[in-house]
Amino acid sequence: MGLKEQPNCLNQRKIAVFIVSAFIPIALFRLCFYNPFSAIDDATLQDSAAHVVITSHSSAQEDETQDSYDRIKEESLCDYTKGKWVRDEMGPLYNGSSCGTIKDGQNCYRHGRPDSGYLYWKWKPNQCDVPRFDANRFLDLMRNKHLAFIGDSMARNQLESLICLLSTVSSPDLVYRNGEDNKFRKWRFESHNVTVSVYWSPFLVAGLEKSGTLDHNVLHVDRVDDRWGNDLERFDTVVVSVGHWFLHPAVYHESGSVLGCHSCEARNCTEIGFFDIFRKAIRTTLKAVARNRREVILTTFSPSHFEGRPWDSLGACNMTEPYEEGKVLEGLDLEMRRIEMEEVAAAREAKGAEVRLEALDVTGISVLRPDGHPGPYMYEFPFKNGVPERVHNDCLHWCLPGPVDTWNEIMIEMLRRWRV
């Protein structure tokens, strides 16, 4: 009996060896490409955050989906303010020719800026990565919503960057226009029923801008500017950004009375500076916009890089690379950012769960990019007739494409977390 069963045992062993040999490559393949112990990458989290779809599926799938949502809710936005600019050979998603909404004065490439190195940097936080801007993801997150940028020319700078980034995948229709320089515009992306608008409001609060007949600004710090306030209920998401217009001479009003003024030596008015007024304007604005589950993003003060030189001096903001990490905030940049961060924190505490409010803290990131401004290339080919003794420089706004695109890369991460 034993001699007859031996071949059968050998055959069974051969079959077992064959099965084990067949499964080893499969197991190795799954270990390499489907490692269950690897961290969930950011793309996976983005997919989970942006596409909340209710379908018929098993309880195991439900548990897996819920776990993914829970991880996103618990995940905090890393401290993206600490990091450095690193070389990025991929370059920008658009250029001065492919995007038609760039304000003429920020189209550095078209205006003949000879260096292109400023286009090949990306922001690298110490503890995480900022994903490259995904226009499809942004449009998915904002589907059927209205995003409004409210503020001065820095709000417009960020808005124009966003329009250019989104235009790489979907062509916007300009559906409203009032005035020049993109001060009041509205675009619609029909593919996702997304509306993006911009409202010129350099103080956010009500006021009059200095003009030919008025040599100072007039602000009413206790009420918002009706030019955007009257449309507030139409907005789902608001981005506010101001600062530099508060440096100009102005008279301030509150509760129907003159509160004081700034740089008003020739007037019968008490000099009170502008920092407290800036705080009041931010506070009034956040009180108005941060309600009814509206999403509010305050983009912090954007630093200039005149570096103490006159605005028409040759060589102002002529650097071609970022500063190293050692550059710190100080003076005006530090104080304006501090006021904004404090007011955002106070508004969030006062509103509690009712408000979705974040500061898009770009001041420290941007102070490291003196190379990102138009400089003399705010005008087309400024040296075509030789090098003049004086030349106008824009060391405040940002070239497009340029560092301001990073602001929108960070903003999409904020929106992603709110959508869960």
Amino acid of residue 84: K
Which tokens in the block code for residue 156?
């417009």
DSSP conformation letters of 381-407? STTTT---SB---B-SS--SSSTHHHH
The two three-digit tokens of residue 282, written as one number: 């931010």
Could you tell me if 405 and 165 are in contact, meaning their C-beta atoms sit under 8 angstroms apart?
A: yes
Other beta carbons less than 10 A from residue 79's beta carbon: 12
Residue of 134, 361, 394, 405 with catalytic role = 394
Q: How far apart are CA 109 and CA 322, in angstroms?
A: 18
Q: What residue type is 353 in one-letter code?
A: A
Of 48, 153, 197, 366, which is the active-site residue? 153
Distance from C-alpha of 181 to C-alpha of 157, rounded to nearest angstrom: 11
Q: Which helix (H) or strand (E) holds 260?
A: strand 257-262
Is position 153 annotated as part of the catalytic site?
yes
- Contact partners, residue 2, CB within 8 Å, separation at least 6: none
Catalytic option among 220, 373, 397, 405: 397
Give yes or no: 197 in active site.
no
Is 216 catalytic? The answer is no
Distance between the two ends of the chain, CA-based, in angstroms?
69
Q: HEC profile for 13-55?
A: HHHHHHHHHHHHHHHHHHHHHCCCCCCCCHHHHHHHHHCCCCC
Q: Which helix (H) or strand (E) holds 250?
A: strand 250-254
Active site residues per annotation: 153, 394, 397
